[in-house]
Amino acid sequence: MAKNQQSLEREVKLLRKQVNTLNERVRDRFDFLLDELKEIGYRNKFSLERNESNVVSMVSAIVPKKNLSDLVLPFDVESQVIMALKQINNYSKLVKGYGLKKILKTNTIALNFIGLPGTGKTLTAEVVAKHLGKKLYVVRYSDLVDSYVGETSKNIVKVFNYARENSAVLFFDEADAIASTRTNVMNATDSENNLVRNVLLKELENFNGVVIFATNLAENFDKAFERRIHMHILFKMPEAPDRERLWKTLCKGLKVHKDVNFKELSHRYSFSGGNVRNAILNAARVALNSNKKSLTMEDFVKGCDLVEKGSLSMTSSGVNKELRYIG
Ligand SMILES: Nc1ncnc2c1ncn2[C@@H]1O[C@H](COP(=O)(O)OP(=O)(O)OP(=O)(O)O)[C@@H](O)[C@H]1O
Ligand SMILES: [Mg+2]
């Protein structure tokens, strides 16, 4: 195993050196070879990527598997996601073709996904990464926060370097804290927060890749942050027809009894995609309890009721605030 690992590491190093000498367009075609070798590493439970001290613990590396066909979004949201993909595809053409390089400071494309929990922000980030043939590095902002002064900014730099070196799409989850207005400095925490945001903005400029932020509340965006975002996409809660599509998409391939009426479920429960997913999991647990061969309407209704109880308690604690759409 150790020998195996060493030889793989050597191979990856060599290949990486060679790939780095190729020009950008050709390099894209060879990147998959590196990914395949890294995959072998993951399967054998060791990482073949450069491991910068504690950076790995702050990043969840995902090999994206989901396509646009796995996403169910209201028509206008889907159109914006498709537009974002086109923008990313056309970016280098735009820059090189029209000589915009001179007036553009950065090659980074930054997107901001705004929306309530379970509306598909993380899933869409996965779809974007898959579309680009890149890995998705998910970072929760709270995992970067360090109580020692100056350490949070250092963590941000580390994460950006790590994603740049491994040519990954960087996804900042729960990014409200970084995206919100810079405070007037009142105390040490405020000045630390401002420092962190300044470092983030600088890293964003120098990244040369795709960075996606996910925020729940679109209020008080920091103007400097907003200027660096190419597109803000609001992930709305689905209406009944989209909910029906969500049920059907997420239940594809499952053993569903013929008495199940997805239209009825979609009218009865105003669920997000995340809620639908949880209701399906609950339904399966309920069915398993009575050893059923397939999931019946009764199981789904019970599954939905369980979700509803959970989310009602969340609503009453004020989690579901109104969103404002920017952009
Ligand atoms: N628009 C959608 N289309 C298809 N499936 C969805 C959609 N939204 C949610 N889901 C299902 O719910 C799961 C959770 O959704 P996801 O993690 O993308 O939500 P989120 O917006 O990132 O939520 P949070 O704000 O809590 O992080 C997905 O893995 C998927 O199974
Ligand atoms: Mg998410």
State the CATH number of the domain containing residue 118.
3.40.50.300
Q: What are the pocket residues of ligand 1 if the criterion is a CB atom closer than 6 Å to any ligand atom?
A: 71-73, 115, 117-123, 214, 216, 246, 249-250, 273-274, 277
> pTM of the predicted model, to two decimals?
0.78
pLDDT tens-digit series, residues 70-95: 999 999 999 999 999 998 888 777 77
pLDDT tens-digit series, residues 173-205: 988 877 776 555 556 666 677 788 889 889 998
- Say if CB 81 and CB 112 are below 8 A apart: no
Cβ-proximal residues to 298 (8 Å cutoff; 6+ apart), any chain: none
For the chain, what percent of residues have pLDDT higher than 90? 47
Number of domains composing the chain? 3
User: CATH no. for residue 273?
Assistant: 1.10.8.60
Is residue 48 pLDDT above 80, yes or no?
Answer: no
Residues 8 and 96 in one domain: no
Question: Given this model, what pLDDT does residue 151 score?
Answer: 80
In a domain, 323, yes or no: no
Is residue 105 pLDDT above 80, yes or no?
Answer: no
Residues 208 and 64 in one domain: yes
Bridge pairing between strands 169-173 and 136-140 = parallel
- Say if CB 159 and CB 144 are below 8 A apart: yes
Residues 181 and 59 in one domain: yes
Domain that holds residue 13: 1-48
Residues 43 and 55 in one domain: no
Residues 34 and 72 in one domain: no
In a domain, 327, yes or no: no
Among 181, 204, 235, where does a domain finish?
A: 235
Q: What's the mean per-residue pLDDT of the chain?
A: 81
In a domain, 81, yes or no: yes
- Dist. CA 30 → ligand 2 center (Å): 30
Is residue 277 pLDDT above 90, yes or no?
Answer: yes
Residues 87 and 149 in one domain: yes
Q: Whose CA is nearest to atom 12 of ligand 1?
A: 274
Residues 247 and 165 in one domain: no
Around ion ligand 2, residues with a beta carbon closer than 5 Å are: 121-122
Is residue 272 pLDDT above 70, yes or no?
Answer: yes
Is residue 259 pLDDT above 80, yes or no?
Answer: yes
